[in-house]
Amino acid sequence: MKRDLFVPPGGPPQSGPSREIYALMGEENIFKMLSDFYKELEKSPVRHLFPPDMEEASRKSAKFFVQVLGGPPLYVIDHGPPRMRQRHLPFDIDEAARQVWLGCFEKVLQDAEGKYHFPMEHLQGFKDFLRDFSAWMVNKA
């Protein structure tokens, strides 16, 4: 059965987070942050949208975030061009799922400076990116 595909208004995000973040927090901390994020997702109502091996999924996602935050193109090297909206199309992602995803990230980002050496001067810009990026992943009204 073919489903109607929702396309968010405004198109994809036009800007990303500061590319200084990688140099300030380092690759290891980005991987730890994403591991913790996926542990939150694992306990969430959107768990079914993710593969069985959440640790592997967190590593794949961390490679994407390393690249987005100014680090080497680990994701592209291992998986090709990100094309994140296309990669998420097989999954029904509605606004409720997006809000759960954002809530899990919000929880992980509490005390991000202490846990991951996240540069606080860039935290709001990162949250803005997550908000815009996640809006572009919504594909079901």
So what's the pLDDT on residue 107? 98
Q: What is the CATH number of domain 21-137?
A: 1.10.490.10
Give Cα 14 to chain centroid, integer Å.
16
Average pLDDT over residues 41-55: 98
| Cβ density class 39-53: b for 16+ within 10 Å, e for less | ebbeebebeebbeee
Q: Give the long-range contacts of residues 2-9, CB within 8 A, separation 24 or more.
A: 3/92, 3/140, 4/141, 5/89, 5/139, 5/140, 6/138, 6/139, 6/140, 6/141, 7/139, 8/135, 8/136, 8/138
Averaged pLDDT score across all residues of the chain: 96
pLDDT digits (tens, 9 = 90+) for 30-45: 999 999 999 999 999 9
* pLDDT above 90 (res 98): yes
* pLDDT above 90 (res 3): no
Average pLDDT over residues 119-137: 97
So what's the pLDDT on residue 1? 62
pLDDT digits (tens, 9 = 90+) for 57-87: 999 999 999 999 999 999 999 999 999 999 9
The pTM score is: 0.95
So what's the pLDDT on residue 42? 98
So what's the pLDDT on residue 101? 98
Average pLDDT over residues 85-111: 97
